[in-house]
Amino acid sequence: MKYMLLNLKSMWQRKWIIVLMIVQLIVSFWVINHALITIETIRYQQKQLFSVTHMKEETTIRLFIPDGDDSQWFVERFRKLEKFIKTIPNVKGYGSFEETTISPQNFVNKKRYMRKNEQLYANTRMESYTDSTKIIYFDYDIYRLFSKFQLMKGRELSKEDFEKTNKDVIPILIGYDYHDVFHIGDRFQALAGLGENAFFVTYEVVGILEQGAKWLSANDYLIDHANELDRFFVAPYFPEERDGRPMDVAVRLNNLFLQLSDKREFSSVEKTIEQKGKELGIYPTLKTISNEMKEYKNNTKQSARFTFMVGLFFVVVTLIGVISVMISSIQARKYDIGVMMVTGASKRDIRRIVVMELFLLVMTSAIIGVVLSYWTEWQDTFFEYNIRLQAFTWSLYVKIMVVSCFIVLLSSFIPLWNVNKLVLRNLVEGRE
């Protein structure tokens, strides 16, 4: 213990050098941590996709229209392509989903609904929109084939629910957080359309979602955190919402999916759809979920590898600095080390002191680096929820610990070799 106290006293005397070393190490750990988070996030996103939906890697297909827009010319041709896709024998499902907001009106519990949203939206981007709720609209095949969420009460949506007209009563599922506001059979209205063409649509509550139900983000189903539907509504598309305006069609282009009966049919289906698109003057492309995820992984991993290499560069530079400082420290403290050896300390004790100092510096830097990394991710509010925060698990901490031990090991060889060369007579001669 007394040697440890002497070591801490020595570190305090060299505090500014120690601080500079710690800053260098913190930067290194922050960069390495960023790379590890990116790699961990890829794994989490893949796991999330298949835990939230029934999508299949090889038979679920994403449809892209690179030149799609909201012009009337494009919309007319795209609708023809959609009708054609539904006639292809090997396609057993096709559709899309969309996330937007509605403002329920003309219902009994309006005040309770507003108070509930005040609680739910406090300190979020929605806190100024207490009269609105996010809603996800589904095509029938997407709801039937891919959704996993269960109901606490009421009934699921049926095929007939997806065949309603604008004037029909539209069935709707209510998120769990609203289970004490809406009840089965309750009705409310919400505006659809814009300007002079706007009209009220009547919704009827037919089911209440189980707590913790989830569905994919409509912004980017691979990258963004899945939506927890507790404060969402779920409803089938009706004509005005799905195809009423060219902009509605353009929005749906973000999330178009096909389900094949067999993965061996992909090539023929791809060729058939691309040929039809070419005839219409638009150029669709298709990718399996598996291929899309591989492309995303490859692109992301390249970025992660580059970041990791930058982190390793910082580590190497820092190692050189740490080793130089430790050697200088040993040379400058020769007399103190000699006194410790005269009073009973062995070279093993001195080596232990050197390693303890290194361990203290590296571990302190690692902890600060991880905390700083978490804080910067937590401060990233571009999306309401940062999926990268899910990467902060024991797996990440163990990897940081391994890197820390590796740094301690590498940076201790030369200083310990210098300790072994010390001769007691040379340490204390010439000093009183």
Q: For 389-402, what is each residue's pLDDT tens digit?
A: 777 778 888 888 88
Cβ atoms 247, 238 nearer than 8 A: no
Asked whether the predicted pLDDT for residue 239 surpasses 60, the reply is yes
Write out the two tokens for 236.
Answer: 């089938």
**Range 403-420 average pLDDT:** 78
Which residues lie closer than 8 Å to 230 by C-beta, 6 or more apart?
175, 176, 177, 209, 211, 212, 213
Burial of 374 per CB tally in 10 Å (0-12, 13-18, 19+):
middle
pLDDT reported for residue 280: 93
Q: How confident is the model at residue 432 (pLDDT cuts 50, 70, 90)?
A: very low
pLDDT reported for residue 162: 96
pLDDT reported for residue 422: 65
The C-alpha atoms of residue 283 and residue 207 are separated, in whole angstroms, by 40
Asked whether the predicted pLDDT for residue 430 surpasses 60, the reply is no
Q: Residue 419: count other Cβ atoms within 10 Å of its Cβ.
A: 18
Q: Could you tell me where the beta strands, DSSP code E, fall in 175-330?
A: 187-192, 199-209, 214-215, 227-228, 232-236, 256-260, 285-288
Q: How confident is the model at residue 387 (pLDDT cuts 50, 70, 90)?
A: low
pLDDT tens profile 172-220: 999 999 999 999 999 999 999 877 788 999 999 999 999 999 999 888 7
pTM over 0.85: no
Q: How confident is the model at residue 327 (pLDDT cuts 50, 70, 90)?
A: confident
* The one-letter amino acid at 111: K
**Range 39-59 average pLDDT:** 81
**Range 34-46 average pLDDT:** 73
Q: How confident is the model at residue 429 (pLDDT cuts 50, 70, 90)?
A: low
The 8-class DSSP code of residue 237 comes to -
